[in-house]
Structure 1
Amino acid sequence: MPGPSTVPRDPDWWKSAVVYQIYPRSFQDSDGDGIGDLRGIIERLDHLGELGVDVVWLSPIYPSPQADNGYDISDYEDVDPMFGSLADLHELIEGLHARGMKLVMDLVVNHTSDEHPWFRESRSSRDNPKRDWYWWRDPRPGHEPGTPGAEPSNWEASFSGPAWTFDEATGQYYLHLFSPAQPDLNWENPEVRAAVHAMMERWIERGVDGFRMDVINMISKDVAADGSLPDVPVSGGSALGDPSPHTVNGPRIHEFLHEMHERVLAGRRLLTVAEAPGATVTDARLYTDPARREVDMVFTFEHVNLDIAPGGSKWDLAPLRLTDLKANLSAWQEGLAEAGWNSLYWNNHDQPRIVSRWGSEGRHRVESAKSLATVLHLMRGTPYVYQGEEVGMTNAHFTQVGQYRDIESVNWAAEALERGIPEEMVVRSLAVKSRDNARTPVQWDASPQAGFTTGTPWLAVNPNHDTINAEAARRDPGSVFHHYRRLIELRHGLDVVVHGDYRLLLPDDEQVFAYVRAADGARLLVVANLSDEEAVVDLGPDGALLDGDLLLTTHPDAERGSGPEVRLAPWESRVHLTDAG
């Protein structure tokens, strides 16, 4: 790269970094039990090194009863034997650091497992010192305890059913915004906060380089003056309602995050990213403004909710309009331009595969995977790559409800079938949106079980692994893998990618996503046809940027043409650089 374009050394190193998320149980199994583990990750570090990522984010590996695949933690201080040991984790950290990579751990502290020692103490008696570490409330007056309607409030849990479970031993209900096996911690109690801070300190001492904070914007609940957690409106004859007005971005959330920063994170070169469902651009600006000293970035959910039918749940499918996607992503780019920072992602362990969701996984799988990556990675923010995304893995395409393992999918399917929704519609929704689509084992090669395990995998391997796999992708210079590698090189090498301004072009075009990044005389043009049809667009004065250096394209043999008009093949994308330096 030319000298003037090289990214300067930045104390905020994560701005020029790319993060790779590993969902351990599906990454690589080293011992044949069908479940991925830490030693399997160690075996595959060279793959990550060749890809060029800077950070590995590890989904939970802590001891857990696995009610929610590890997001129900029974011990914050150890490694679940199914994944290995603390010694294995230490070896992994050393292996990453030796390759110039860092490790980010999941911090799951809105809730624990109901088998965590803290909760066992809390539920043992009403006068236990840890009773107030969780949310305990009496049954609703005038109702028989433990019967429908006796819950302290009419909140619905994220995984269906009431958000309160009755504990017969002490005669009170405990709160769980997710499953009954995941009781919510009471962050109003300073002892809880101090215990979490101490736990974070110990992980940092072990060499961890940051934290991805699971549903962290739910830790502050909106408590009424009398200590109650108020009822919410309901609709459609349901007895339960959405509690998010009282549980998301709550009244003390900024206080809690600032306290965490000052007591644990300040002065350390760590990466912190907050999973913040329901956060708007305005909320994110508050969370990520460096002057406020809270977190480095948040995960937005707005863009991944654009294919939900109006008024529906995630399972109610609607087609994506490209103009809506462009408007949303651009609003975040512009909203955090002056203060704050974006996280950039298409995929994670909770989202279906992007090439199946918004790409074209048949004839144009490779080109659509590349172009979607190009559009995302060259925006302002820190890109996240989810395991298998770099080789263009697709959704699982399971054909039966019984093939799914995810608690959210299983619970929703059971409720939907009970309501009389035809099974074929339930299967279709699961095939598009189930979290299991992201959790099928990584496809390393064309061998049985895709090289993931020598045993029986915990979740079925996608049958298309015989053609879509990492071994084949690394051999093919035109593969999705090498396109991701080049995108990462551009972020590492060009200041305009990291720090440049963002300007959307063609906001009303339903086929083409185009924008310009600009910094210190350098201008980067990104233009991508995100459709199955040829596109012809006029870029106006910005068409002159097509004469700049062609840095990256999905179609290297296509004619470039001249002037403001550009003709793009289906799923063709181009990246041009004009550098005044």
Structure 2
Amino acid sequence: MNKKTIIAAALASFMSFAAHAQVANNPQWLDNAIFYQIYPSSYMDSDGNGIGDLPGIVSKLDYIKSLGITAIWLNPVFESGWFDGGYDVIDFYKIDPRFGTNTDMVKLIDEAHRRGIKVCLDLVAGHTSDKSPWFRDCSTGDRNSRYADYYIWTDSISPKEQQKIVVRHQAANPASSTYGRYVEANAPRGKYYEKNFFECQPALNYGFANPDPAHPWEQPVDAPGPQAVRRELKNIIAFWFDKGIDGFRVDMASSLIKNDKGKKAVSKLWNEMRAWKDKHYPHCVFISEWSNPEQAIPAGFNVDFMMQFGLKGYGSLFFSRDTPWGKRGYKPENEKEYRFCYFDRDGKGSPKEFAENYERAYNATKSLGYIALPTANHDFQRPNIGTRNTPEQLKVAMTFFLTMPGVPFIYYGDEIGMKYQMDLPNKEGSNNRAGTRTPMQWTKGETAGFSSCTPAQLYLPVDTENGRITVEAQLKDPASLLHYTRRLTALRHQQAALRGNGEWTLLNKDGQNYPLVYQCSNQGETIVVAINPARFKTKAVIPHTGTLHKLLETGKTAVKQANTGDELRLDGFSAVVYKVE
């Protein structure tokens, strides 16, 4: 190898290390963070109109603090057309009047920071509402407009494409369809525009990674229009960071650039955004709805979710096949698909799919960022669903969520075991997601303390089971899920081994499904967690590494230690956390 080759190789190695070092430069507060996700329309209503708002959230910050929460994530709060639960944004620089004003947001930020709580917003980076001034200006066809190329337009589509992918507005409900890729608009700017989800959500033009020469409307990523959209995205982020926001969860983060096989172009985009953020706002974070940590975290995100799509495993833990998300795409004849979820009372599931995929993703990314395992979110069902519906079962699930590495996200109401309500009417594009967006249940009563409105005015109905599933009732019960969740969050904050960036090792022997046993290690500490979500007793033998000191348990557990191995015994619906000393 000659001298030039050696120098080039060394430079390449240094550049690779520098890139990874930059991505790994996460704000310190993330390592001990516990997030709380709030769907703003459903958390607390301060003015009696049946819809939650920002002053309502401010009034509950002391409660949020009492949960051991260090950061909150709010679903979209920007001015919206409210066809898709706030994900059809009209103005990214303005708080929607239903929630309050920009001043109310600044007050929320200030009050949260005073309590040591970070605030992150939801960034719908890939599209706007068709009511957005940007889109309306763009559709006029004025080529000198600032927004002339903010969206993707074409006048010509082949008959074959037209049959398969063109969506035509329906007079009765012009924004309802999620079918297809293009919407017929017959606007001066063009006959068709590309959408992302509903018809009313035109895709912003970040360009095409590999433009098709037969499609002249497909602009490359370095064209003026896509570059202008990138600058606008950066302006939005800076606008809210300058007001004190601590980060953004980015909706559909991997989909911004079209025709991007392997997500190379969009990864480059987010790495550039990350470099800019780290330079100007190093304390802030980017959280991705990518659901593929091995792509998202090297692409520049501080946190990525493992949940209901993308990297497989979450569903096989929590989505029973007789529940809405468990039914999706399931084919009994496909033996590769799970038949029974792991956190089911009958104990017929397997942690194999989750453990293998999680372990691979975790080991590939733990030096760069964090994986988030949410208890639920606004897009899929809660843990309390079907036959998983008792406090004992939900405590076992919460033990898992709050003792895994990464950054945990508690979805509002899961700390008291709120139910996923089946068969609710569609609300603002929710479809079957309505059952997980119901109002927070504070007290007994017809509106559960969420609002002073009449029950008929509620955003969605409540179901407190005669006041049992409320904050009020569970605060009075030392054995409640709420108090158990608080003990778990306190334990996570106290034990270095339960922080976000430790080592994680599955201790289950091959072929053994119950209980789930794993070890977390960090800063010289080691924690062993054993979880049995099944109704029957079970046991496991793990290597002896020291005295097991019980820190927390739910249900009945026992241990018999010996130099040849430690036998853990768990009753049904039990979990235990040990410290190795």
Q: TM-score, normalised by structure 2?
A: 0.80
Q: Shift in Å at residue 123 of structure 1?
A: 1.0
Q: Which amino acid aligns with 1:554?
A: T
Equivalent residue for 2:443, pick from 442, 445, 450: 445
Q: Which amino acid aligns with 1:175?
A: E
Q: How does 1:52-201 map to 2 (within 5 A)?
A: 52-125=68-141, 127=143, 129=145, 130-142=147-159, 148-149=163-164, 151=166, 160-170=178-188, 171-188=190-207, 189-201=226-238
* CA 478–463 in structure 1, closer or farther in 2 if over 3 Å, else same: closer
Q: Which amino acid aligns with 2:264?
A: P
Equivalent residue for 1:353, pick from 359, 372, 382: 382
Q: Shift in Å at residue 70 of structure 1?
A: 0.3
Q: Which amino acid aligns with 1:376?
A: F
Is the contact made by 1:299 and 1:343 (CA closer than 8 Å) also made in structure 2? yes
Equivalent residue for 1:315, pick from 300, 321, 328: 328
Is the contact made by 2:126 and 2:196 (CA closer than 8 Å) also made in structure 1? no
Is the contact made by 1:23 and 1:439 (CA closer than 8 Å) also made in structure 2? yes
What SS is found at the alignment partner of 1:450?
coil
Q: Tell me the number of residue pairs that the alignment of Structure 1 and Structure 2 aligns.
A: 496
* CA 494–126 in structure 1, closer or farther in 2 if over 3 Å, else same: same
* CA 453–195 in structure 1, closer or farther in 2 if over 3 Å, else same: same
Partners of 1:252 and 1:375 lie apart in 2 by 36
Partners of 1:308 and 1:140 lie apart in 2 by 42
**What is the CA deviation profile of residues 197-220 of structure 1, one whole-angstrom value per residue up to 9, with x for unaligned ones?**
112111111111111111111111
- Which residue does 1:28 correspond to in 2? 44
Q: How does 1:372-383 map to 2 (within 5 A)?
A: 372-383=397-408
- Which residue does 2:290 correspond to in 1? 276
Is the contact made by 2:165 and 2:181 (CA closer than 8 Å) also made in structure 1? no
Q: Does 1:550 align with 2:566?
A: no
Equivalent residue for 1:295, pick from 274, 298, 301: 301
Partners of 1:264 and 1:560 lie apart in 2 by 49
Q: Shift in Å at residue 352 of structure 1?
A: 0.4
- Which residue does 2:530 correspond to in 1? 527
**What is the CA deviation profile of residues 297-322 of structure 1, one whole-angstrom value per residue up to 9, with x for unaligned ones?**
1112333443497xx99634553233
- Runs ≥4 in structure 1, deviation > 6 angstroms? none
Q: Which amino acid aligns with 1:403?
A: P
What SS is found at the alignment partner of 1:382?
coil
Q: How does 1:404-423 map to 2 (within 5 A)?
A: 404-405=426-427, 407=429, 409=431
Gaps of 5+ in 1: 1-9, 224-245, 288-293, 410-433
- Which residue does 1:325 correspond to in 2? 354
Partners of 1:72 and 1:520 lie apart in 2 by 45
Q: Which amino acid aligns with 1:262?
A: A
- Which residue does 1:215 correspond to in 2? 252
- Which residue does 1:430 correspond to in 2? none
Q: Shift in Å at residue 132 of structure 1?
A: 1.5
Gaps of 5+ in 2: 1-25, 168-174, 208-225, 331-338, 342-348
- Which residue does 1:291 correspond to in 2? none
Is the contact made by 1:535 and 1:567 (CA closer than 8 Å) also made in structure 2? yes
Q: Shift in Å at residue 118 of structure 1?
A: 0.9
Is the contact made by 1:200 and 1:264 (CA closer than 8 Å) also made in structure 2? no
Q: Which amino acid aligns with 1:524?
A: I
What SS is found at the alignment partner of 1:168?
strand
Is the contact made by 1:141 and 1:150 (CA closer than 8 Å) also made in structure 2? no
- Which residue does 2:62 correspond to in 1? 46
Q: Which amino acid aligns with 1:342?
A: I
Q: Shift in Å at residue 577 of structure 1?
A: 0.4
Q: Does 1:19 align with 2:50?
A: no
Deviates more, 1:67-76 or 1:254-263: 254-263
Q: Shift in Å at residue 158 of structure 1?
A: 12
Partners of 2:204 and 2:111 lie apart in 1 by 34
What SS is found at the alignment partner of 2:108?
helix
Q: TM-score, normalised by structure 1?
A: 0.80
Q: Shift in Å at residue 58 of structure 1?
A: 0.9
Partners of 1:408 and 1:319 lie apart in 2 by 27
Q: How does 1:224-239 map to 2 (within 5 A)?
A: none
Is the contact made by 1:406 and 1:435 (CA closer than 8 Å) also made in structure 2? no
Is the contact made by 1:60 and 1:106 (CA closer than 8 Å) also made in structure 2? yes
Is the contact made by 1:360 and 1:532 (CA closer than 8 Å) also made in structure 2? no
Q: Which amino acid aligns with 1:28?
A: M
Q: Which amino acid aligns with 2:415?
A: E
Equivalent residue for 1:344, pick from 373, 386, 395: 373
RMSD over aligned Cα, in angstroms? 2.7
Partners of 1:449 and 1:23 lie apart in 2 by 17
**What is the CA deviation profile of residues 69-127 of structure 1, one whole-angstrom value per residue up to 9, with x for unaligned ones?**
10110001111111111121121111101111111011111111111111111111163
Partners of 2:290 and 2:163 lie apart in 1 by 31
Q: Shift in Å at residue 537 of structure 1?
A: 2.3
